[in-house]
């Protein structure tokens, strides 16, 4: 049986409780993935490319908040697996553009599907009232994220 969560009394207490819950849930969702040998860093880079469409290696390093040499290694491994391709930059011959390949998009979709399935399975076990509360909370969190 789960222990009841104390009601936060202030905005600071709610912020701490909410941040910790989001971090724990995010960590658990990230762990729900198909069997494979992609690291979290590689999957994160692939996700960034999937969302952005295409980035320079520097832009990708900035988005992922890693140093360019680290991103070079990550991209190299993704390229070796055929998940990312380089193309010449349209205006700067010294640079390249990175984009997920068709295979990379398919691998990304598999990971997203596994994460979605795990979370849906957890939610189906909740009461309708709890799912309603989470639905309303998700709407509020979307508003907060847009602020």
Please report the pLDDT score of residue 74 as a whole number.
97
**What pLDDT, in 10s, does the model give residues 9-58?**
899 998 999 999 999 999 898 888 776 788 889 999 999 999 998 999 99
Q: Model-level pTM? A: 0.78
Structure letter (DSSP) for residue 96: E
Please report the pLDDT score of residue 138 as a whole number.
95
Question: CA 37, 112, 109, 66 torsion: positive or negative?
Answer: negative
Q: Where are the domains of the chain?
A: 36-146
User: What is the rounded average pLDDT for all residues in the chain?
Assistant: 91
Torsion region of 56: left, alpha or beta (phi above 0 gives left; psi -120 to 50 gives alpha): beta
State the maximum Cα–Cα separation within the chain, in Å, rounded to a whole number.
Answer: 61
Please report the pLDDT score of residue 8 as a whole number.
64
Which one is the CATH code of 36-146: 1.10.10.10, 1.20.1300.10, 3.30.499.10, 3.40.50.620?
Answer: 1.10.10.10
d(CA 53, CA 15): 33
Q: Which residues contact 88 (CB under 8 A, 6 or more apart)?
A: 96, 97
**What pLDDT, in 10s, does the model give residues 60-81?**
999 999 999 999 999 999 999 9
Q: What is the mean pLDDT of residues 121-144?
A: 95
Angle, vertex CA 98, rays to CA 107 and CA 63, nearest 5: 85
């Amino acid at each position: 049986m789960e222990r009841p969560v104390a009601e936060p009394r202030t905005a600071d207490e709610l912020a701490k409780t909410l941040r910790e819950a989001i971090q724990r849930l995010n960590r658990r969702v990230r762990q729900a993935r198909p069997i494979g040998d992609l690291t979290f860093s590689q999957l994160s880079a692939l996700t960034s490319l999937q969302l952005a469409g295409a980035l320079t290696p520097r832009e990708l390093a900035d988005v992922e908040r890693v140093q360019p040499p680290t991103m070079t290694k990550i991209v190299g491994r993704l390229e070796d697996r055929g998940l990312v391709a380089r193309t010449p930059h349209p205006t700067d011959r010294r640079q390249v553009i990175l984009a997920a390949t068709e295979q990379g998009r398919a691998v990304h979709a598999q990971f997203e599907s596994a994460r979605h399935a795990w979370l849906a399975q957890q939610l189906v076990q909740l009461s309708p009232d709890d799912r309603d509360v989470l639905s309303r909370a998700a709407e509020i969190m979307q508003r907060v994220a847009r602020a």
